[in-house]
Structure 1
Amino acid sequence: MKYAENILGTIGDTPLVKLNKLTAELPCLVLAKYETFNPGNSVKDRMAIQMIEDAEEAGILKPGGTIIEGTSGNTGMGLALGAVVKGYKMICVISDKQSKEKVDILKAVGSEVYVCPTDVAPDDPRSYYSTAKRLAKEIPNSWYVNQYDNPSNTKAHYLSTGPEIWEQTEGKVTHFVVGVGTGGTISGVGGYLKEQNPNVKVWGIDTYGSVFKKYHETGIFDENEIYPYITEGIGEDILPKNVNFDIIDGFTKVTDKDAAIYTQRLAKEEGMFLGNSAGAAIKGLLQLKEHFTKDDVVVVLFHDHGSRYVGKMFNDDWMRNRGFLDDEVTKAIDLIKDHIEEPLVTVKTEELVMHAIERMKNYNISQIPVEDVDGFVGSVDEAILFHAIMDDASVTSKPIKEFMQEPFPIVDRNTSIDNVAKLINKDVQAVLLDLGDGKHHIITKHDIISGLH
């Protein structure tokens, strides 16, 4: 009989799968190293078990101990599987930008999960790096994994992923493309492949908000490059020891929007239900097309499974709210369709300035139409009120009609966006959209910019 002694025995030997539709414009053969076939549905299973076994051998991880790691979710899953089989307790420290599904999955396999803010410096005590280190100091008989600097991370891919790719391509692989986070995959696989054939090119996929690309090209760690981003699993605001820049031939950066869109496209056009970093990887590969010829064999590694992202990249409302869906936006009605149900906030001519200010504050708006019994007769803008109050604080007790300007222009729902935009200038801060039946909605500069984003 053929069977694995436990679930850890099923890690590795993942297939190579040809990409067809999304790579049709490329002259080369593109093969995906499909790592979701690992039991934890990610490439991180490989290095998680390698790190555990090396720690056991070194006597760092002792029986009954607690494994502690800062993770974007996938390494935590691999470690959690090892903890279950080998009898350890697992604590995962995760950033709040990671999907809810990742947190729920970690809990489902018995992990204790701490969620930390993303938008803080790595050395901030609230960061997931710092929190993991602190817990390891506080909890007896615990082991802080530190996948970023743990050499077993790279070792796992040098011993398994790299040799598998070399064997599966019969040594014909010419390029290896992969998203870079901790650096273990690109360094381990890249190192092995270059030992077999120094001409193999290794490309890293980076994201905007990460330091890798500029550091590789200039040797400068530019803190101005660091800012929050949405793409999960790749990019860093630190330089992990596992990133061997000498092995990497180059980086290309992929936007959050492109990564999210191509994550959806992989599912809809290739039948590959994969995670966010796969979208970044395939878009990055397409950006590198001038580097490929008809004789090349390009292997792109896809890290994890789409089930981690059903509430994010596979949720159209989530995508639309971030401007990631390329919905057709041509008419006035398209600009406000996401908030069309919100009531129009107005102020009456006889109401006081203080009432208009209070309304602006409560609804977080800058312009308000002014109306009387006959309809819209004027408009008021926060800039006008600001200057009036700075000149005389008592104006807050005066009626708004003394400070109103001309009423906002009114357009119908089919007015083109170009014509709507032409109506807005330094004197006209918004327009009103006639929805029919006496209902109106305001369109501001923010609506136009958001609609065209």
Structure 2
Amino acid sequence: MKYYNNILETIGNTPLVKINKLTKDVKALVLAKVETTNPGNSVKDRMAVKMVEDAEERGWIKPGGTIIEGTSGNTGMGLALAAIAKGYKLICVLADKQSKEKMDILRAVGAEVVVCPTAVEPEDPRSYYSVSKRLAAETPNSWYVNQYDNLANRQAHYEQTGPEIWEQTEGKITHFVVGVGTGGTISGVGKFLKEQNPDIKIWGIDTYGSVFKKYHETGIFDENEIYPYITEGIGEDILPKNVDFDIIDKFTKVTDKDAAIYTRRLAREEGIFVGNSAGAAIKGLLQLQEELTEDDVVVVLFHDHGSRYVGKMFNDDWMRERGFLEETKKTALDLIESHANLPLVSLMSEELISHAVSKMRDFKISQIPVMKDGEFVGLVDDKTIFELLIDNPSIVDDPISSVMKDPLPVVEASANIDKISKLINRDTPAVLVKLDNGKYNIITRYDIIDAIA
């Protein structure tokens, strides 16, 4: 019989998978090191177990003890597997930007989860760095992992991930690309690969709001570079000891939006359901593709599984709220979607201005088309009425026909947004849309803004 003695023995030997559609314009062969086949569905399984075993050898943790760690979720999962197999308790401290799925998964495997605010300084007592240290000091028989400065982290990748990649590519790898968070993966893998071939390029993927890229290029730790960001698992507002900047040849930064979009594209176009940092990694590679040749073999490491981001990057509403969803409302019908079921508010030309004021108040609108004999003959808007009322309040009893402006332009439901936008200006606040059922609706300036902002 062939079997493993426990789940920890299944860690490693993850596959290399060729990227096809997303890299069709890249000259090099691009291979993804897909770490989701680890039992905890993440590359962090490797270093989590290594750090626990190292702590056991050093006497830092005793039987029945408690492991405490600040984590973005994936290291916590790896530590949870080790804790289960070895009989330890686990407390994971997460920043509140981490996905709910990560928190739920950690609780499912028995970890206690403590959530801290993201937008605070590392030294702030509320930060997940500070809370982790405090809990370790307060908890008897506990060990604070500190994956950022615990060098067993990068040693795990020097001993495991690097040799795997070298063997799988038969030593033909020319570039290694990976998102940088704690720095363990890029530094451990990079050290091993450069020992085999010093010409191999090691490229780190950073995010806006992180200090890595500027520090690497200038040696300056610039606090002005630090601000909250959405991308998970990469970038830092500190300089972890695990980041060996001498190993890294280049950094490129990827926006939150691009990371999210390319995470979704990996799933839909490559069938690789992976997490947010993978989207950042593949987009970072594409940003640097001009430096690649047909003879190059690039390995991009994908950290974790997409199931941990179902409520975020893979949720259309979440993406839309942040302006990340790549969708364009192209026609008049698209632009009126939010109010298509509402009847068009209109006035008859013989009605009084006071009636227009009442309708604007009741329907909370600023312009109303005017009709006569079933045709649109004019427009009355709040700007016109306001200017007239200031000079002469008694005009409220005058007919609308005496103050109305030219009628609004009418477009077909299929009219595109470019055509509609050109019709709306200072004097024309909206356009009318003729629907297939013979009825009309209206597109205002706000509808255009909502579609393109």
Give, as a single letter, the amino acid of the residue that structure 2 aligns with 1:443: T
Greater C-alpha radius of gyration = 2
Aligned-residue offset at 1:133? 2.2
CA distance in 2, matches of 1:255, 1:432: 38
Q: Who is 1:16 aligned against?
A: 16
User: 1:218 and 1:3, CA in 2 relative to 1: closer, same or farther beyond 3 A?
Assistant: same
Q: Deviations over 1:338-373 (max 9, x none)?
A: x44797999x9759x9x999998xxxxxx7447999
TM-score, length basis structure 2:
0.83
Q: Which residue of 2 aligns with 1:247?
A: 247
Question: Cα RMSD between the aligned structures?
Answer: 3.7
Contact 2:207–2:235 (8 Å) recurs in 1: yes
- Report if the CA contact (8 A) 2:370-2:380 is conserved: no
Q: Which residue of 1 aligns with 2:120?
A: 120
Q: Is the 8 A contact 1:344 1:442 kept in 2?
A: no
Per the TM alignment, residue 128 of structure 1 is displaced from its structure 2 partner at its CA by 2.1
Task: Give 2:44's aligned amino acid.
Answer: K
**2:242 is matched by which residue type in structure 1?**
N
Percentage identity across paired residues of the two chains: 68
Could you say which residue in structure 2 is the equivalent of 1:297?
A: 297
**Aligned pair in 2 of structure 1 residues 368, 229: CA closer, same or farther (>3 Å)?**
farther
Inter-partner Cα distance in structure 2 for 1:325 and 1:10: 37
Matches within 5 A, 1:427-438: none
Which digits, 9 at most, give the CA deviation of each residue in 1:200-229, with x for residues without a partner? 100011122222222212222233332332
Could you tell me how far apart the structure 2 residues matched to 1:409 and 1:241 are?
A: 65
Partner of 2:273: helix, strand, or coil? coil
Distance 1:444 1:147, change over 3 A: farther
Q: Deviations over 1:255-312 (max 9, x none)?
A: 2222222222222222211111111111211222122222222111111111112222
Task: Decide whether aligned partners of structure 1 residues 186 and 416 sit closer, same or farther in structure 2, where only a CA change above 3 A counts.
Answer: same
Per-residue deviation, 1:313: 2.2
CA contact (8 A) 1:19 1:32 kept: yes
Structure 1 residues 306-345: aligned runs within 5 Å? 306-335=306-335, 337=337, 339-340=338-339
Sort the Cα spacing of 1:342 and 1:238 in 2 relative to 1 into closer, same or farther, 3 A.
Answer: farther
Write the letter of the residue equivalent to 1:324. F
* Cα separation, 2, equivalents of 1:359 and 1:132: 54
In 1, are the aligned partners of 2:175 and 2:200 still within 8 Å (CA)? yes
Aligned to 1:65: 65
Displacement after TM superposition at 1:430 (Å): 6.2
What is the count of residue pairs matched by the alignment? 436
Once the 2 structures are TM-superposed, how far is the Cα of residue 434 of structure 1 from its aligned partner? 7.0
Q: Is the 8 A contact 2:28 2:297 kept in 1?
A: yes
* CA deviation after TM superposition for structure 1 residue 452, in Å: 2.9
The gaps in structure 1 that reach 5 residues or longer are 361-366
Counterpart for residue 211 of structure 1: 211
Q: Secondary structure at the match of 2:237?
A: coil
Distance 1:222 1:104, change over 3 A: same
TM-fit CA distance, 1:172: 1.7
Does residue 164 in structure 1 map to residue 164 in structure 2? yes
Counterpart-to-counterpart distance in 2, 1:344 and 1:152: 67
Amino acid at match of 2:126: R
SS in 1 for 2:42: coil
User: Within 5 A, what are the aligned runs for 1:356-435?
Assistant: 368-369=366-367, 378-380=380-382, 409=408, 412=411, 413-425=413-425
Q: Deviations over 1:415-453 (max 9, x none)?
A: 4323433355556666676778877566345x4345235
Distance 1:369 1:126 in 2: 50
Distance 1:197 1:219 in 2: 26
Residue by residue over 1:124-153, the C-alpha shift from the partner in whole angstroms, topping out at 9 and shown as x without a partner, is 333222222222222222222221121111
Alpha-carbon separation, structure 1, partners of 2:98 and 2:406: 46
Q: Is the 8 A contact 1:410 1:434 kept in 2?
A: no
The code of the aligned residue for 1:66 comes to T
**Alpha-carbon spacing, 1:49–1:17, altered in 2? closer, same or farther (3 Å):** same
* Bigger mean CA offset, 117-126 vs 161-170: 117-126
TM-score (norm 1): 0.83
Q: Is the 8 A contact 1:408 1:430 kept in 2?
A: no
Aligned to 1:364: none
C-alpha distance 220-6 of structure 1, shift in aligned 2 (>3 A): same
Find the counterpart in structure 2 of residue 363 from structure 1: none
CA distance in 1, matches of 2:354, 2:294: 75
What is the identity, as a one-letter code, of the residue corresponding to 2:444? I
1:197 aligned partner, one-letter code: N
* Structure 2 SS opposite 1:253: strand
Deviations 1:34-83 (A, max 9, x none): 21111000000011111111122222222222212121111110011111
Change (3 A) 1:145 1:336: farther
| Counterparts of 1:406 and 1:203, CA distance in 2 | 62
* 1:196 and 2:199 are equivalent in the alignment: no
Residue 299 of structure 2 aligns to a residue in which SS? Answer: strand
